[in-house]
Structure 1
Amino acid sequence: MTTTDLSTTVTVRYFAAAAAGAGCDEETLVVPVDATVGDVTAAVLAAHPGLEALLALCSVLAEGRLLRDPAAPLAGATTVDVLPPFAGG
């Protein structure tokens, strides 16, 4: 994680339909140092406004930890996964 006084970077990995919508499997986004899930979501939407409807259905994992609350802190996580609902199993 690269840190400045007010911001840091986080690697966001997209899967399935989220990757198709974002046009990439992975990217680095700038978020506040004390980022929450909501901050990452806002950064994703700023980069990919077309993902709004899909992102509302996605699960967000920080370092493999499922975070459902937009106010949940990333707590130093450097990787966030965006997973849409999957069919089958």
Structure 2
Amino acid sequence: MAEAGDGTVLVRYFAAAEEAAGRPEERIRLAEPTLGALRAELLARYGAPMELVLRSGSFLVDAVVSRDPARRVAGTVDVLPPFAGG
């Protein structure tokens, strides 16, 4: 099991993001715990389907929506596809 502070985050996928990943969640260990590193890892793992989601989707980090690649991540990160409506 991953230990706190080891660069492992729980990534939860919703709607189209879950379809792209083929699972509702997974633990990913990052050498650099940032959104940029997570985004790169997701693209490497899931390719074009995830690229479509991330192009206009967002991440929820500590209950705050973020697209900042320098944002530090720990704990849980939600991958949110774009949602219709306002």
Q: The TM-score by the shorter chain falls in which range?
A: 0.7 to 0.9
Give the aligned CA root-mean-square deviation in angstroms: 2.0
Size of the aligned set, in residue pairs, is 84
Classify the secondary structure of the residue corresponding to 2:7.
Answer: strand
Whose RCO is larger (CA < 8 A, sep 6+)? 2
TM-score, structure 1 length as denominator? 0.79
Partner residue of 1:36?
34
Instruction: Quote the Cα distance in structure 1 between the aligned partners of 2:4 and 2:43.
Output: 22
TM-score by length of 2: 0.82
Q: Which amino acid aligns with 1:24?
A: R
- Following TM superposition, the consecutive aligned residue runs of length 4 or more in structure 1 with deviations greater than 2 angstroms are 1-4
User: What percent of counterpart residues are identical?
Assistant: 45
Shift of 1:2: 2.3
SS in 1 for 2:39: helix
Bigger helix fraction? 2
Instruction: Give the structure 2 partner of residue 49 of structure 1.
Output: 47
Structure 1 equivalent of residue 3 of structure 2: 2
Deviations, residues 3-25 of structure 1 (Å, cap 9, x unaligned): 68xx5211100000110111111
| 2:56 and 2:82 in contact (8 A); partners too | yes
Aligned to 2:11: 12
